[in-house]
Amino acid sequence: MNKIDHPIFGVAVGILGTLLGFVTMTVWWSWANGTSTDYFIQNVFLESSLYKDSILTISVLFNVGLFWLCLRSNLEQLAKGILAVIFISVPVIIYYQATTL
């Protein structure tokens, strides 16, 4: 058994994957719109509830790719931890969607 093939490690990878997805999207959005990453974080993500659920969804979707890579690498236990992060994130996203109505 691979030492990293553990659900707890998968949860950590899932959290880091979500953060990496957020950073990737922040950099891309800032570049595409000619603004700073600080502007995106402060004005688009934190102060505007309109896009928060979409931003979180895109950030969590980054984990789908990580999940697939783990399955292709026969790291099923690691993939379970990543999937747990996805499952926990869904109610949070639904909460943000419900509070913006």
Residue 72 lies in a domain: yes
Q: How many domains does the chain have?
A: 1
In a domain, 33, yes or no: yes
Is 2 domain-assigned? no
Q: How confident is the prediction for the chain on average, in pLDDT?
A: 92
| pLDDT over 70 at 101, yes or no | no
Percent of the chain topping pLDDT 90: 74
Residue 1 pLDDT level (bands cut at 50, 70, 90): low
In this prediction, residue 3 carries a pLDDT of 86
**Domain assignment present for 47:** yes
φ, ψ of residue 13 to 5 degrees: the values are -65, -40
Lowest mean per-residue pLDDT among 9-23, 40-54, 64-78, 81-95: 40-54
CA distances from 77 to 21, 88, 96 (A): 22, 17, 30
Is 1 domain-assigned?
no
Domain membership flag for residue 24: yes
Asked whether residue 65 is assigned to any structural domain, the reply reads yes
Distance of CA 21 to the CA centre of its chain: 5
In this structure, is residue 86 part of a structural domain? Answer: yes
Domain that holds residue 52: 7-99
How large is the average pLDDT for residues 16-22?
95
